[in-house]
Amino acid sequence: MSVIEQHQSPALSAAAGAAPLLSLSGVRMEFGGIVAVNDVSFDVMPGTVHALIGPNGAGKTTTLNCISRFYTPQQGRMLLRTASGVHDLLAHKAHQIARLGVARTFQNLELFSDLTVFDNVLIARSQAMQATLAEVLLRLPRQRREERQEHARTEQILQTLGLSAHAHSVVRDLPYGTQKLVELARAMALEPTLMLLDEPAAGMNNREIEQLGQTLKQLQQATGATLLLIEHSMPLVMTISDMITVMHNGAFLAQGTPREIESHPAVIEAYLGGGKSGKRI
């Protein structure tokens, strides 16, 4: 696998010497003999924004589905390093991956469309509550205290993402771009170490995409979370990413900083169908 020599951004420099948060090695995923992901290997460093890009059908979402354990790859290793140790993701189920600090958004919205924005995010916060069923039914002090804390935390998350004005709006009544932010808020509510974002800018206009980019960088810097995102908006990718991995036809194609990727001949070939030296994606 040929990897472009990396020019380290400040975020990557901060992670220099650190072990990767996520390591994929030789991952292969087939569906009925059709190879969707073929021998894919790359590392995601802690505290960075890492983009996974490529033309439609490149295998990007399949790769995220393998990481989050919605799919089980036929070959390869996937390791997640947390404060509690190194975890083999193939030994865990999807709900266990979430408990290890991995949150996920989807191409297609996965929200409770009949509930309010506030309730959608509060449900995600419920995993932090320790009160027993008896304490909840009897409204005992610990349950009331935790409820106040989680309501305050939910309000803080909505404010961070600019959703406070929509807190009591029913999700199905909101524009698609706003619903995408609600899904991001739910992922953020889990306080993850690693956030897997599948096309977070889909359905947004240029102004919303620009605001999303600022929000994602602020979120990453404020929480220290690592972001691994799939995105087709190249302005967004080039603006916020510390490192980019490019896939094509299910395989690793190139990796590097935004500056390196935008003029890389193999990447231009994959996107434009005829790379010319000096062109940029």
Per-residue pLDDT at 4: 33
**pLDDT classification of 272: cutoffs 50, 70, 90:** low
pLDDT for residue 275 = 47
Q: By three-state DSSP, how is residue 28 classified? A: strand
Nearest CA-CA partner of 25 in 71, 102, 80, 62: 80
Long-range residue pairs from 33-36, CB within 8 A, at least 24 positions apart, any chain = 35/250, 36/62, 36/250
Q: How far apart are CA 79 and CA 23, in angstroms?
A: 5
| Boundaries of every domain in the chain | 1-101+192-281, 111-190
Most confident of the ranges 137-141, 184-188, 217-221: 184-188
75-116 tens-digit pLDDT = 999 999 998 899 999 999 988 988 899 998 887 777 888 999
Question: Mean pLDDT over residues 239-255, rounded?
Answer: 94
Report, at the CATH architecture level, how domain 1-101+192-281 is classified.
3-Layer(aba) Sandwich (3.40)
Q: How far apart are CA 49 and CA 41, in angstroms?
A: 17
For residues 199 and 21, the answer to whether their CB atoms sit within 8 Å is: no
pLDDT confidence of residue 147:
74
Which residues, in sequence order, are CB contacts of 263 under 8 Å at separation 6+? Answer: 278, 279, 280
CA gap 121, 3 in Å, rounded: 39
Going by pLDDT thresholds of 50, 70 and 90, the confidence category of residue 161 is confident
Tell me if 261 sits within 8 A of 254, measured CB to CB: yes
Cα diameter, the chain: 70
